[in-house]
């Protein structure tokens, strides 16, 4: 089955700087890669996603890149703000089932 | 359009009791997924259901756990004879047939004493 690895497990960034979180996946059939943000005690919220026919996607301060050959994808947050502090999870799935295999999460702390 | 609803939000059970967790998907969503999140850990897939059908239960323990998504009403995750190790947050997510995006409910936090 699919295996998703995520790094780093914790990340502290000065407010205004950029944050990058990286994930690798094992199943070459995976073709959908979402990112979720989870605040303490809350539900995971979908913040951005990318499909395998696209190499990069951007939404305001958030961008995701995908390298299918290397089987890795990354989340980039620019101009970080205190409200970006949360745990971020990457995930992978494939057409026909779409069950999500999650990474282990990155706890992002924005230092004011 | 209401989001995914789960109830109860918090559930306390003693060892050996049964826990029933309910999930109402977003309107128009016919696919439901259940995930479990242990404290300080990531989310693990348990089961994938469509109306009246279990599509994939490969993540669900073989014993004590069952799930259903009837033609009418919410999806139910049932845990019989709960043990302390079942304490976790249980999230359901739903999606439409034509899309990949899954939207999560607020979760049920199960505590087994």
| Percentage of the residues of chain B whose pLDDT score is greater than 70 | 99
pLDDT at B98: 84
- Best of A23, A29, A47, A99 to substitute, by most chain B Cβ atoms within 10 angstroms, is A99
- Indicate whether B108 pLDDT > 70: yes
- Indicate whether B39 pLDDT > 90: no
Decide: residue A40, CB within 10 A, 0-12 exposed, 13-18 middle, 19+ buried: exposed
Confirm or reject contact between B103 and chain A (CB < 8 A): yes
- How many angstroms separate the CA of residue A90 from the nearest CA in chain B? 10
In chain B, what residues touch A42 (CB-CB under 8 Å)? Answer: 106
pLDDT at A98: 85
Instruction: Look at strands A86-92 and A32-38 and give their pairing.
Output: antiparallel
Nearest to A98 among B100, B103, B107 (CB): B100
- How many angstroms separate the CA of residue A15 from the nearest CA in chain B? 25
Q: Categorize the per-residue pLDDT at B2 as very low, low, confident or very high, splitting at 50, 70 and 90.
A: confident
CB contact under 8 A, B102 and A34: yes
CB contact under 8 A, A49 and B48: no
pLDDT at A104: 95
CB contact under 8 A, B42 and A44: no
pLDDT at B1: 56
Mean pLDDT of B24-40: 93
Per-residue DSSP letter, B73: S
Distance CA A92, CA A72 (A): 10
pLDDT at A96: 76
- Indicate whether B99 pLDDT > 60: yes
- Indicate whether B36 pLDDT > 70: yes
Beta strands in chain A (DSSP E): 4-7, 10-14, 19-25, 32-38, 45-51, 56-59, 62-67, 72-77, 86-92, 101-102, 106-111
CB contact under 8 A, B100 and A104: no
Share the mean pLDDT of chain B: 95
Q: Locate B86 and state its tokens.
A: 């079942």
pLDDT at A88: 98
Q: Which residues of chain A are under the pLDDT cut of 70? A: none
- Indicate whether B104 pLDDT > 60: yes
Confirm or reject contact between B48 and chain A (CB < 8 A): yes
pLDDT at B84: 95
pLDDT at A13: 97
């Amino acid at each position: 089955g699919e295996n998703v690895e995520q790094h780093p497990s914790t990340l502290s960034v000065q407010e205004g700087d950029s944050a990058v979180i990286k994930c690798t996946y094992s199943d070459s059939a995976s073709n959908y890669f979402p990112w979720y943000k989870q605040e303490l005690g809350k539900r995971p919220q979908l913040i951005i996603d990318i499909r395998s026919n696209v190499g990069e996607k951007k939404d305001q301060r958030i961008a995701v890149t995908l390298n299918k050959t290397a089987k890795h994808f990354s989340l980039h947050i620019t101009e970080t703000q205190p409200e970006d502090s949360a745990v971020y999870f990457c995930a992978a799935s494939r057409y026909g089932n779409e069950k999500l295999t999650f990474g282990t999460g990155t706890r992002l702390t924005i230092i004011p | 359009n209401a989001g995914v609803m789960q109830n109860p939000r918090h559930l306390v059970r003693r060892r050996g009791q049964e826990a029933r967790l309910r999930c109402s998907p977003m309107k128009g969503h016919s696919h439901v997924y259940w995930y479990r999140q242990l404290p300080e850990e990531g989310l693990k897939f348990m089961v994938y259901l469509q109306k009246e059908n279990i599509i994939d239960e490969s993540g669900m323990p073989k014993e004590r756990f069952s799930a259903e998504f009837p033609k009418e009403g919410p999806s139910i995750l049932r845990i019989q004879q709960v043990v302390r190790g079942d304490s976790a947050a249980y999230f359901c997510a739903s999606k439409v047939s034509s899309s990949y995006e899954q939207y999560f409910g607020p979760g049920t936090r199960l505590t087994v004493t």
